Amino acid sequence: MPAPLIQLQDIRIRFGNSQVLDGAALSIEAGDRLCLVGRNGSGKSTLLKIAAGLLEPDSGSRFAQPGAAIRYLEQEPDFSGYPTTRDYVETGLGEGYDSDRTFHLLGKLGLTGRETPQQLSGGEKRRAALARALAPEPDILLLDEPTNHLDLLAIEWLEGELASLPSALVLISHDRRFLEDMSRATVWLDRGRTRRLERSFAHFENWRDELLAQEELEQHKLDRKIAAEEDWVRYGVSGRRKRNQGRLAKLQQLRTARRERIRAAGAVQFAAAESESGSAKLIEARNLSTSYDGRCIVRDFSICIARNDRVGIIGPNGAGKTTLLKLLTGELAPDTGTVNRAATLEFAVLEQSRAPLHPDTMVSAVLTGGSGDTVDVRGEKRHVVSYLKDFLFTPQQARTPVRILSGGERARLMLAKILARPSNMLVLDEPTNDLDLETIDLLEEMLASYPGTVLVVSHDRDFLDRVVTSVLRVERGGRFVEYAGGYSDMLAQLPKPEETSSASPKWKQASAAAPRPRAQRQGQQRRLSFHEQHALKTLPGEIAGLESEIAALHDRLADAGLYARDPAAFAAASAKLKDCEAALSEAEERWLELAALEEELGRV
């Protein structure tokens, strides 16, 4: 067995009164493709810094192969002493470095190499730091949120770049699709300790839920109770994933309604939308155009946005996505064209440049303004601690200053503040930046239950697939084209590779080369078979029956005295519960697959 390039064992570290790592371990071998997952504040970035040799733990051991080249992408890079981005990237490359590679990487990430640190935005600093990490093609790459502030084309380029490198990779990211594509093993950091799954992130959530379910049974056996807030935060994950099945079904219904409205209305006709039940127009834009510094940012754009629409906006950085948001909300006036907004429209806006939180302000005071212990959540009074629990904060954190929160926890607090405001339209510019995967799950669930309309700019492909009913995609010359459905639905509607000539622009070739749904790749136009139709019709009943049986088994196992009275009955009920949950998961996945296939075949 080859020796590891980096080996961490029994790592412990405490910050203040919080034990962040408590016996964590990490082994990185040549060729590894690991993703490191866990909640915000669980210590992922801390563990990566220890692996990079930038932070000393309180106890435990770190071994690194002598001579192994390690590069670490930090979330907040330091540009002190570097006159330009080129100097920053090339520092540490050694003799005989390839300057062409430096400029290639900077160019792919939207930089020239001539920028000074004073000119750089936060996102540009992150991209320069990514170029610096990639440039030497090191033995080990430790990447903390590498997709933050990258647009979709840049993310797809990064996936190809990382796939071509021989380096071992350890990734922290909130981008599910990125983790699924790039990982071959998963390390879960939970309550200070690590557990490893020798499979990609695509298999992580089912594995985690099985571990938590088994742990919960062990807790019952020992007749111990878990603190209420910890139980909700940890074991509520599984319940939220079950509810996601119903949420996705509802999203499909909204997408179907949106698609029919687009077909009925056409590109610039909106009369059909007014007559439909529950689709009162909130924003109607006609022939909007605006330019900046001689460049057309938005050209001849028209749309009708109605109640309950979830509209995603995608495109390269600097292409005009935020400008379009500001035109629709009235923050900017167009050069030509008109925007009519409903008189009752109330916006709640989360900007990409998050408003700063004062580090000495108590977490609860961010929401209450420092007076009282209640917060007004869209017109309803709630205790601030109860509301913070909805965003995975514990009661103890409510009484702590903002400065001790992680970056992801601060982003979560900003979301709590924005979502409390009275509104019937949410405007979210890159809402998933700095959020962990569980918080993104929570945000998706909250958006599904939000009674108004959502406009969202995002580069997170999985998030778009789970949230939006249509996608506005930036195309050439400032044109925005609307596609019904999510990100994957949009890809299915783009020209096929053979329809795209070699002379076409690179942005179009990249989009056309993206993977397509199975039915389109095969090029077959067929109908659901008899067995598939029968399964689609009968599976909801089977799912409901399994859910009832699982609820009854949970009630039976909740009897604290069952194990003492009849160990055999407890074991039988536990085994039956495991079988039922496996059957339920399989039935839900099969139903979703068939429902998606039915919808796809309906469009072919």
What is the C-alpha separation between 460 and 177, in angstroms, rounded? 8
- Domain C-terminal end among 183, 209, 235: 209
pLDDT grade, residue 527 (50/70/90)?
Answer: low
What is the C-alpha separation between 401 and 359, in angstroms, rounded? 6
| CA quadruple 128, 131, 133, 136: dihedral sign | negative
Shared domain for 33 and 179, answered yes or no, is yes
- At residue 3, the pLDDT reads 80
In a domain, 360, yes or no: no
In a domain, 221, yes or no: no
In a domain, 60, yes or no: yes
Above 90 in pLDDT, residue 54?
yes
- At residue 336, the pLDDT reads 93
Shared domain for 330 and 427, answered yes or no, is yes
Above 80 in pLDDT, residue 528?
no
| Residue keyed to tokens 């106890």 | 59
Shared domain for 266 and 128, answered yes or no, is no
Shared domain for 257 and 171, answered yes or no, is no
- At residue 443, the pLDDT reads 85
- Domain C-terminal end among 186, 209, 232: 209
- At residue 424, the pLDDT reads 87
> In which domain, by residue range, is 532 found?
517-604
Kindly give, in sequence order, each residue whose CB lies less than 8 Å from that of residue 128, ignoring residues fewer than 6 positions away: 77, 79, 85, 88, 89, 106, 109, 111, 115, 120
Higher pLDDT, 280 or 142: 142
- At residue 95, the pLDDT reads 66
Structure tokens at 453: 């309309």
In a domain, 388, yes or no: no
Shared domain for 262 and 163, answered yes or no, is no
How are strands ordered across the β-sheet holding 168-172?
A: 70-73, 140-144, 168-172, 33-37, 185-190, 193-197
Higher pLDDT, 407 or 425: 425
Shared domain for 503 and 522, answered yes or no, is no
Above 90 in pLDDT, residue 49?
yes
- At residue 352, the pLDDT reads 63
**Phi-psi group of 485: left, alpha or beta (phi > 0 → left; psi -120 to 50 → alpha; rest → beta):** left
Shared domain for 589 and 441, answered yes or no, is no
| CA quadruple 278, 266, 269, 313: dihedral sign | positive
- Domain C-terminal end among 495, 516, 537: 516
Shared domain for 83 and 177, answered yes or no, is yes
In a domain, 315, yes or no: yes
pLDDT, tens digit, for every residue of 224-267?
A: 444 444 444 444 445 555 556 566 666 777 777 766 665 544 43
The CATH number of the domain holding residue 264 is 3.40.50.300
What is the C-alpha separation between 77 and 509, in angstroms, rounded? 33
What mean pLDDT do residues 589-600 have?
A: 74
Could you give the number of structural domains in the chain? 3
Shared domain for 477 and 585, answered yes or no, is no
pLDDT, tens digit, for every residue of 471-519?
A: 999 887 888 999 888 888 888 888 765 444 443 333 333 333 333 333 3
Shared domain for 40 and 172, answered yes or no, is yes
Above 50 in pLDDT, residue 276?
no
- At residue 277, the pLDDT reads 35
The CATH number of the domain holding residue 585 is 1.10.287.380
Most confident of 144-153, 187-196, 416-425: 187-196
Above 70 in pLDDT, residue 303?
yes
Shared domain for 335 and 469, answered yes or no, is yes
- At residue 497, the pLDDT reads 52
- At residue 259, the pLDDT reads 66
Burial category of 376 from C-beta neighbours within 10 Å (exposed 0-12, middle 13-18, buried 19 and up): middle
pLDDT grade, residue 423 (50/70/90)?
Answer: confident
Shared domain for 327 and 449, answered yes or no, is yes
**What integer best gives the mean pLDDT of the chain?**
80
